[in-house]
Structure 1
Amino acid sequence: MSTEEHLKDLLAYAKRYKILLNGSARDKTLDACIKRLNRLETTVTRPFFLEVLRLCDEGKLDISQATDVFLITESYLFRRTICDLPTNALNKIFLLLHREIIRYDGTDADYVEKFKYALLSKKERTRFPDDDEFAAHFIERPVYQMNSKNKIYILERLENYGTAEDKEVYSHYDDGIYSIEHIMPQHLTPAWVKELGDDFRQIHETWLHRIANLTLSAYNSKYKNSTFEEKKTMKNGFEDSGIRMNTYIARKEKWTLAEMEERSQYLKGRALEIWAEPSTEFRPEEKQLDSYTLDDDMNLSGRLITRFSYKNIEQPVASWVEMFQKVLQILYAEEKSVITKLAVSADDNIAQHFSMNESDFLKSAEIGDGIYVLTNTDTQSKRSVLSRVFKLYDADPTDLVFYLRDENEGAEEEAGTRYELRRKYWTYALDFIKQAHRDGGSFSNVNPPKGNWIGGFFGISGFNLCCVANYDSARVELYFGRSKKEENKKAFDAVIRHKDDIEKALGVQLLWSRGDDIKASKISYQINEVSIENETDWLQMAKFHAEWSKKFYDVIVPYLR
């Protein structure tokens, strides 16, 4: 490509990027979606959206198809937010999504259908929450306690979706005209206590911040703790409100548990319509491989690697050792001095994995020029070495992608596989875990997975309680998994300041893993000499997961509030 062609290409991408910044595609629905995504600060989607807009410019997608892609992406992101799924995987997902779509059949035909399949086929922490999971979280989550950008986004969508008569919700909220109103107030008066009945404390605690009890108003300061009848009939009350969602509220004679439960179901239906789950008949002819970047905090032990990609160049490999060697050879070819210094260093850190003497290691592979790297290590150790070497090279870990298959590929649902074993265990254990958390409900909407862990939600985005079941141990951990490393470390540091008090309250020593070289941090406690493979251990493991996840919730989580 000539210099002139490069410049023309850059100009075209700059124009597309401007559309993503300003919402200036000249299509009302698409522009509105872009502006909403910008308010939600979803910048990780832009590499993918640039390719979608390029296909539009080339006539391979029309504007309605592009709009579908944007709207489905919006649903995917919001459902994940409501279900409190970690955001640290999104950067990789959208960086590779266009390439993944093309890889299905080598073309950009049926792009939208392949896009739907790509998102719907995501698993575990990268999954597209289905209707059941999303609906349960939507009506039960304390929406008012979410950050400002998310809760006003929810109310704007509930107000404006499906009508051409849009209210200027965002501008009125930003200007301080609109605010979020608790219909049942935050502070109960005797009149409210009487209206709610004998269970007023439980009702107030459970429903106060849920979406069923929230609306928009320009007269929040006037309503204060007034009775429902007063809020409804006063001047500028619900009956006079020009806000559509208040019309529903104004039709009610009272505001008690029954009315909140009814509105909860109504809003659930609205949510499933607004943030719809897509469907597609597309299926790739060949089984698609799972992919993870070097930056992903995932345990890949037991997975078989078939190829890797570095800076968009793919190479087939037969083993993790071969990948390890090839990646280091690529880096060494780019700049020899970094790895050479490691090989001649006597420091007892990453340098211990490199040597100029092959006999220093039981097993090794040559990188080049008589430099050898230790290969007699497990998969996680190899990834850890690569992570630290990438830092020395100032290389982006998301540029290195692993494509994996399972040892039992094609037999995930067959009797006797580890997937069936895990699902059976979690089906058994979740009864104990949910019973232990019946008050807080951290695991109330968790279904038995086929993975070795489950995550419980406690109302703080990006942080989870996790129960892990392995072949030689069982573990409970508090997982700090936000997309921004500094936020995870800040939260971890805030908790570890109370380490002595926490361990005294629990009566045990915990494992505190700050994880300075990765994004996530963890606090964990485990028991050994139990195995998910041995059903006679299941009762002990299930009781452990139930008891200690609840103890973590009761003792550690309050330090994050």
Structure 2
Amino acid sequence: MKADNTTLVDFLSQSKTLFEIPVYQRNYEWGEAQCQQLFGDLVKARESGNNHFIGAVVYVPESGDKMSHIEIIIDGQQRLTSCILLLKAIAASDPTVQEEIEENFLTNKYVSLNDHIKLKPVEKDQEAFQAVINDKINSYQGPSKVIENYKLFCKLIAESAYSGQELFEGLNYLNMVYINLDGGSEAENPQVIFESLNSTGVSLSASDLVRNFLLMKLNSETQERLYKQYWLKIERLFTNNVFTEFIRHYLVMKTNKLVKREDVYLTYKVYYHDNHFTSEEALIDLYKNASFYNALLHGTSESSQFNKTIGHINIMDKKVVYPYFMKLMGMARDGAITWDKINEIGIIMESLLYRQMVCGIPSNSLNRIIVKLTTHVEGDNEFNNLRQQLLNSNFPDDKQFKEHVVEYPIYIRKRNCAKMTLVVLEEHRTKETINFDDAQVEHIMPRRLSNDWKINVSGADTINQKYGGTLGNLTLTKYNQEMSNKIFEEKRSYYAESNIQLTREVANNYAVWDKNSILNRANELAEELAVIFAKPAMLADSASIDNSGEHTISEELDVTGMKPIRLTIQNDDFAVKSWNACLVAFLNYIWENDSETYERIKQDSSVHNKIFSNFRTPKVLDNGETIDTNFSANTIAALLAKMAEICGITDEVSYTIR
């Protein structure tokens, strides 16, 4: 390894040198603020005459043709690209320095590599960068950060008090550090260096890190081939955030464990090494599953029924099921399960998610169940596996569900879900598909009450506040919005002429619109929804089923008489023999891993008054503090749930009982 200080000018003026940004690096992404900062640093350095440090560049040297040199940029490529764009803008602004800059800093006159251009960016930026260097930006089509930032530098130079010549002289004051990884030891492994430079996770996303991990160790030719053959195709399917979420869900499916967003990269590395993958094998598997994930995002699977189901699940924003659905789609591809069975499973999961949403049950209670569903079973046993896991889920029964439908302010909490529900109800009547985007949600009693409404309906304000956003007061319409605040008598005549059956029923069945009307209609629709989003018959005898097994801490379960045998916290298992042992194990874990959060638990009044005072059955924690453990099983389960909520790990805590 060689490392030294140099100036930006000296580094970029190296003769017969190509600066190559490898395919595994991310695209050029500097924003306006960063470019303005760089230009401001240049101006300050020019004014003060003092040196200014702008950062480091890390590279691996390679030999090129005709005694040329190639420097593979491992880190600092964003800054390096911006500096070259700034140099080009200075050259374009002042003919007196144009030739010197172009010949010494932008091009290699005697090296044909990369069309003589000194910097080779990643493929996506290549065309735009060449357009800048060759003065052809007007012919470039499409958006580009490269073009955008070059124009910004041109603007900043034009507005500056300094000429291009003066700014060019100021570049001599910009200092940098170069790190040349020319050794073969592990300490100089580019991947190790790269990870240490990006250890905070601020500059690169998990998907960026995974890409670099898979491609960095390969030779340039193999990098290029695998990047184009697999990674680029995946990249075109997803935005950066979605890409990382895809990898997280992929890992849940493959490892059968919960994976936190901040642990995606480290978990992927462990998974890769445990399975003894080559980079190509890993990319092939990612590529196959990326197509499944994309089909889930956009409802483009082989089955129209499943696409309808996943469309509803996406509207509910319940992507927690994606790892399980990816597994099923892979099984279908391999002939291990039919699409008819997948459709049945999808409908069951949709019903579970919808009922839980209406009943206010957080979907994180499903995380561990989804993890168990991703484990491998033979196709014929998939329904048995599903049944067993759903018996351990909080699947609301008809009574609970219908009661919540009446009261749930669905329009306020989940506006798109309100529209989806109404569309589903209409399609249930007509058996025809409704265009979701064309339909509008209509408040029968309007959100803003006119004086006529307040005069005609006793207690209209109170009724509207409590029931205005509930299903009983909602329907679908396509009529002019000017009617939205009209009194019911006027609306009713329009409803009667509606081409939407759900809306015509309001006109046909109700002469007035008040609290009783809203509740009557809500109860009728609740009965219908209990059929549409049915609890499957295979769970009908769930009341008589033994609750032995693993349960998330957020589940509503009577654990009286049940004995815990294991407590699981963030994938760490603790063998226990009693409920008070669970309490001790949980607090010891939090103290060891996050003492600040432990103090927050103590400061919570309900927890403090219960655990940290009135010691009837005292137990001593690892930190020497004493707690009380003389509580019922259900009380300790509730305390664990409360403390997990304070810690922000509700979906990562479970217990196993027998």
Q: Does 1:273 align with 2:531?
A: yes
State yes or no: 1:54 paired with 2:330.
yes
- Higher-RCO chain (CA-CA 8 Å, sequence separation at least 6): 1
Task: Give CA-to-partner distance per residue, 1:481-533, whole Å, 9 cap, x none.
Answer: 8xxxxxxxxxxxxxxxxxxxxxxxxxxxxxxx896633469xxxxxxxxxxxx
Change in 2 beyond 3 A, CA 1:389/1:69? farther
1:518 aligns to 2:648 (yes or no): yes
From 301, 304, 314, the counterpart of 2:564: 304
| Alignment of 1:44 onto 2:340 | no
Residue in structure 1 matching 2:549, options 251, 274, 290: 290
Distance, in Å, in 2 between the alignment partners of 1:152 and 1:17 is 25
Q: 1:17 offset after TM fit, Å?
A: 1.9
2:412 pairs with 124, 145, 149, which one?
145
Cα deviations by residue, 1:126-162 (Å, 9 ceiling, x for unpaired): 4000000001100122223213233233223223346
Contact map agreement 1:300 1:379 (CA 8 A) in 2: no
Asked if 1:135 corresponds to 2:396, the answer is no
RMSD: 4.5
Specify every segment of 5 or more residues in structure 1 that has no aligned partner in the other structure, as ranges.
173-177, 322-376, 393-468, 482-512, 522-561
Offset at residue 75 of structure 1 (A): 0.9
Q: In 1, distance between residues paired with 2:564 and 2:306?
A: 41
Higher helix share: 2
Q: Deviations over 1:195-234 (max 9, x none)?
A: 43x565654454322211111233463113312121122x
Decide whether the 8 Å contact of 1:116 with 1:280 is kept in 2: yes
SS of equivalent residue, structure 2 residue 364: coil
| 1:241 matches 2:487 | no
2:344 is the alignment partner of 1:73: no
**Which residue number in structure 1 is paired with residue 444 of structure 2?**
183
Counterpart of 1:320 (choices 573, 576, 594) is 576
Partner SS state of residue 441, structure 2 = strand
Task: Decide whether aligned partners of structure 1 residues 289 and 310 sit closer, same or farther in structure 2, where only a CA change above 3 A counts.
Answer: farther
- 1:214-262: CA deviation from partner (whole Å, max 9, x where unpaired): 11233463113312121122xxx21332333212112143324443343
The separation in 2 between residues aligned to 1:478 and 1:471, in whole angstroms, is 11
Secondary structure at the residue paired with 1:209?
coil
CA gap 1:190/1:517 in 2 versus in 1, 3 angstroms: closer
Query: Counterparts of 2:386 and 2:380 in 1: how far apart (Å)?
Result: 11
1:168 corresponds, among 417, 435, 446, to 435
Provide the C-alpha distance between the structure 2 equivalents of 1:262 and 1:294, rounded to a whole number of angstroms.
36
Distance change in 2, residues 1:155/1:281 (3 Å): closer
- Correspondence for 2:517 among 226, 247, 259: 259
TM-score with structure 1 setting the length: 0.50
Q: Distance in 2 between matches of 1:165 and 1:380?
A: 54
Helix, strand or coil at the partner of 2:380 = coil
Relative to structure 1, the CA distance from residue 131 to residue 385 in structure 2 (aligned partners, 3 Å threshold; closer, same or farther) is: same
In 2, the alpha carbon distance for the partners of 1:182 and 1:283 equals: 39
Q: Deviations over 1:285-341 (max 9, x none)?
A: x96742257999999998432697997xx99x9x439xxxxxxxxxxxxxxxxxxxx
Q: Per-residue deviation at 1:55?
A: 2.0
Task: Provide closer, same or farther for how the CA distance between residues 518 and 279 of structure 1 changes in structure 2, counting only shifts above 3 A.
Answer: same
CA–CA distance in structure 1, aligned partners of residues 484 and 466 of structure 2? 20
Percent identity over paired residues: 22
Distance in 2, matches of 1:516 and 1:309, equals: 14
2:564 partner SS: strand
- Residues 441 and 475 in structure 2, CA contact (< 8 A), matched pair in contact too: yes
Equivalent runs, 1:205-224 vs 2, <5 Å: 205-219=465-479, 221-224=481-484
In the alignment, structure 1 residue 98 sits paired with structure 2 residue 374: yes
Q: How many pairs align?
A: 336
- Give me the TM-score of the superposition, normalised by structure 2: 0.44
Residue in structure 1 matched with residue 311 of structure 2 by the alignment: 35
Assess if the C-alpha contact under 8 Å between 2:425 and 2:502 holds in 1.
yes
Aligned partner of 1:382 among 573, 576, 585: 585
Gaps of 5+ in 2: 1-274, 596-629, 652-658
Cross-structure match for 2:190:
none
1:193 and 1:242 mapped to 2: Cα distance?
29
**Counterpart for residue 341 of structure 1:** none
Please tell me the residue identity of whatever aligns with 1:215. Answer: T
CA shift for structure 1 position 49: 1.1
